[in-house]
Amino acid sequence: MSEIDLRPIGTIHSPYTSVRDMPIQPRGALGVAGRVEVFSEFAEGLADLSGFSHVYLVYHFHRAAAMRLSVVPFLDGSARGVFATRAPCRPNPVGLSVVRLREVRGNVLLVENLDVLDGTPLLDIKPYVPAFDRWDVESTGWLAREGRDADTARSDGRFEPGPSSPHAPDLLRSGLARPLAERTKPMQIRYLEIVTPDVDAVCATYARVHGVSFGEPQPGLGNARTATLADGGVVGVRAPMHESEAPVVRPYVLVDDVEAAASAAVAAGAELAHPPLELPGHGKFAIYIQGGIHHGLWQV
């Protein structure tokens, strides 16, 4: 069997009109109300559903980026296999949410705790039955530590359609998509980030070898100790922010437009690991991965 043909049975309506700043799990959407409209030809299948307090909604991630087998999920800073995450850019972009069913009104379900984008195509509905669906588990992998932030975490743009997606606009208009020979501005390292469990030792070595002086930890840069270089760039040395963050040396190249630069990197085949984000007082940064190596972009 090479293909499976699925068709929507309805549409999910919610307050969320953008994939950014949405809850990433139903636990982060407690009390959020929405409607599930089931197409009239399938309405007969809703008989007896009103007897259940919770239901599964199975739906299509219609606004997700192209498939990636390695992703940096919302609750972590490390790359993970997509099947060990809830990321939407899957080989088959299917989502699953458990919501509270308040009422069945004709062919419309009134639900709560809804964490789904408005206009999402509905694929299926199933009753949630604790006797069938709830298990005592021994391990939740990397989420054992990070998963407790699911109540407050919000989505960003990291899984939006990129230039490799058929839904994306043509980004070749960006100056950063031009060949290197057509660019006139020389490349400059704005920030050199060093993640290590031995912060003081690395700072001492850099001070002795390069003659730089490191200050106190800066909360806005992950408590990195920083030193200013002769060309105006900055080197920052910080400890890992969580147990799963591996040591890394990550240069951030100065760009005029970090969004355009990140899009150009994706267009060239890179994976966007962290979408552009504002750091108050420092500028905007983004991270992409190519060839197994982290690369940073920085806009001031």
Please tell me the distance from the alpha carbon of residue 111 to that of residue 122, in angstroms, as a whole number.
Answer: 14
| Dihedrals phi, psi of 143, to nearest 5 degrees | -80, -5
What's the CATH class of domain 171-299? alpha beta
Domain extents for the chain?
Answer: 10-149, 171-299
Element of type H or E holding 253: strand 248-254
Angle at 128 between CA 103 and CA 80, to 5 degrees: 120
- β-bridge mates for residue 125, sequence order: 57
Written as one letter, the residue type at 14 is S
Asked if residues 214 and 201 have their Cβ atoms less than 8 Å apart, the reply is no
pLDDT, position 163: 44
Asked if residues 18 and 41 have their Cβ atoms less than 8 Å apart, the reply is no
Please tell me the distance from the alpha carbon of residue 68 to that of residue 58, in angstroms, as a whole number.
Answer: 21
Q: How many CA atoms lie within 13 A of 167 on its CB side?
A: 11
pLDDT, position 162: 52
225-228 and 271-279 beta bridge pairing: unpaired
Please tell me the distance from the alpha carbon of residue 172 to that of residue 264, in angstroms, as a whole number.
Answer: 8
pLDDT, position 127: 97
Please tell me the distance from the alpha carbon of residue 254 to that of residue 300, in angstroms, as a whole number.
Answer: 8
What's the CATH class of domain 10-149? mainly beta
Sign of CA dihedral 230, 250, 24, 149: negative
Q: How many CA atoms lie within 13 A of 35 on its CB side?
A: 9
Asked if residues 138 and 144 have their Cβ atoms less than 8 Å apart, the reply is no
Please tell me the distance from the alpha carbon of residue 28 to that of residue 187, in angstroms, as a whole number.
Answer: 41
pLDDT, position 171: 28
- β-bridge mates for residue 218, sequence order: 224
Q: Between the CA of residue 106 and those of 8, 14, 49, 100, what are the distances in Å?
A: 18, 18, 11, 17
Q: Between the CA of residue 260 and those of 41, 172, 193, 266, 297, what are the distances in Å?
A: 45, 10, 22, 10, 10
120-127 and 10-13 beta bridge pairing: antiparallel
Instruction: Per residue of the chain (300 residues), give pLDDT as tens.
Output: 567 888 899 999 999 888 787 777 777 778 889 999 999 999 999 999 999 999 999 999 988 888 889 888 777 777 889 898 888 888 899 999 999 999 999 999 999 999 998 999 999 999 999 999 888 888 888 777 655 566 667 777 677 765 444 333 332 233 333 343 343 456 888 999 999 999 999 999 999 888 889 999 988 899 999 998 877 789 999 999 988 889 999 999 998 889 888 988 888 889 999 999 988 888 899 999 998 899 999 998
The pTM of this model reads 0.53
Angle at 146 between CA 142 and CA 147, to 5 degrees: 95
pLDDT, position 46: 97
**Which residue's structure tokens are 């900055």?**
234
Number of Cβ atoms within 10 Å of the Cβ of 8 = 17
Please tell me the distance from the alpha carbon of residue 87 to that of residue 176, in angstroms, as a whole number.
Answer: 28
pLDDT, position 52: 97
- β-bridge mates for residue 57, sequence order: 97, 125
pLDDT, position 95: 92
